[in-house]
Amino acid sequence: MSQWSEQRRHDHYYKEAKKQGYRARSSFKLIQIHNRYGVFRPNDVVIDLGASPGGWSQIAADYARLIVAVDIESMQPIDKVVFVKGDITEPETINKIRNYAPRANVVLSDASPDISGHYTMDQAKSVWLCENALKIARETLIEGGVFLCKIFEESLAMLNLIIRHDHWLYQIPT
């Protein structure tokens, strides 16, 4: 068993997620963010980028009427969730998303790059994924919609420089 797998097995949120039937420990973070900022409203249409294994989609499904979950990895079905297998950086995937949700109230991104162990490269990949998620948000979000994107904390300074002019960034502390 890898060191990461061993650490995860002993993690409080990992254990609690399994106990409560959540697919990922990140479900708790989304619950906290929603409780504080009111991300979801009844009858929302949500696009969940980097969705597998489905932890954020599970939470969104408690509030929204439709979730379009997108990932390069497969995901087990969830009620009210349409799954699109594809790469969020590819136009074909974006077209598939638009087929199900031409407009959305919420765009979530929990997308994470494959970690190489090279700090600078991993940071750049994290920013690149967030930029692609922001592109999808710009194309699909209704006025007043919510864009919530996970990015490596160290990358936040770079991201601020990239999207500062749009006034979209509201930093939520971890």
Please give the positions annotated as active site. 150
Tokens of 141: 């979000």
Give the span between the Cα atoms of 6 and 10, in whole angstroms.
7
Coil, helix or strand for 101?
coil
- Give the sheet arrangement for strand 66-71, strand by strand: 81-85, 66-71, 45-49, 104-109, 141-149
Coil, helix or strand for 56?
helix
In 62-143, where does DSSP find H-type helix? 91-100, 119-140
Dihedral sign for Cα atoms in the order 36, 139, 27, 124:
negative
